[in-house]
Structure 1
Amino acid sequence: MKVVLQRAKHAEVTVDSEVKGTIDSGLMLLVGVTHDDTEKDADYLAEKIVNLRIFEDENEKMNLSLKDIGGSILSISQFTLYGDTKKGRRPNFMEAAKPDHAITMYEYFNNKLKNLGVHVETGVFGAMMDVTFTNDGPVTLILDSKM
C-alpha cells in the first residue's frame, strides 16, 4: 500500500456537488492499493499514520501525533498512486489492485484507523471526486508498506 499523507487545516471531498466527507485539523490521505497488499500492510500504515509526530508542539517542533492533537482523517482511494510512467506518455496502471481487492483493503484500512481512535471521513470508492484542502505547513509525506 502507498499513502500520500498531507497535514491539513481543512479538507473536503464532493461527488456530484454533494459533500461526502469533510474534516478540519488533521490529515488528508490519498490511499493506493496493489495486488499483493494484505491486512498486515494496512495495519502497519494505520499504526504509523496515527502515531507519526508531525504536528507542532508549543515550541514549534514536530513532536505531536494526530492522536495527540485529536485530529481527523479524510481518506481518499487513489489507484493512480500505482501508475507507471516509465514508458510512453500514458500511465500504466497494471500495478493497481483490481477493484474488488482494492475496496476490501481500503475499507479495512479505514476501519483500522477508526479502531485506533481516529475520526475518519472518506470519499466514494471508484467515483469521480473533487477533493479540496488547505495543506498545513505544507507537510507532505509518502508512505509505502513495502519499504
Structure 2
Amino acid sequence: MVAIAAATTAGGLLPALPAAPAQAAPARYADDFNGDGYRDYAAYHPGLSAVGGVRVTYGTAPGPGSRRQVIDQNSVGVPGTNETGDMFGEFRTSADFNRDGYADLFADSSLHPAVRLPGSASGITTTGLTQLADQYVIDGILQ
C-alpha cells in the first residue's frame, strides 16, 4: 500500500481536489445485464444465424428465465455484417465497465474488433454501443 502525504507550498497546504461525480453503484454481478439482481447468461450460439451470434438468457430468482435476447451482426447498431467465418460472440466477457449498475457485454468476432454492448434496465442494448479499435476478447479477457 502506498501512503500519500499532504503536499505543502510556501502558502500552506495545496487545495483539495474536487470530489468525483456521484455514480450509481456497480452491478452486483458482472453478468447482470438488466440490473435486477439476478445473474444473466450470454452464450455463443453458432446456429443463431449463418455465422453465429450471442444468446442472452435473463435470470430470475429460481434460475434461468424464459426471456431471451439474440444479438448478431444483423442487429440494429452492431457494426459490420454477418460474414462467413465471422463467429460474432464466440469470444465475450462482461462486467459493469461504466459503473452504471448494469453489466456490459463485450463480444467480438474473428474478423472485427470487440464491441461493448451496454446493459440497461431492459437488458443488453445496442444504443450507445462502442466499437473498440484493435481490442479483442481472448480467453474471456478484453485485450
TM-score interval, normalised by the smaller of the two chains: under 0.3
Which is helix-richer, 1 or 2?
1
What's the TM-score, normalizing by structure 2? Answer: 0.25
Between Structure 1 and Structure 2, whose CA radius of gyration is higher?
Answer: 2
What's the TM-score, normalizing by structure 1? Answer: 0.25
Instruction: Specify which structure has the bigger relative contact order, considering alpha-carbon pairs within 8 angstroms and separated by 6 or more residues.
Output: 1
Which is strand-richer, 1 or 2?
1
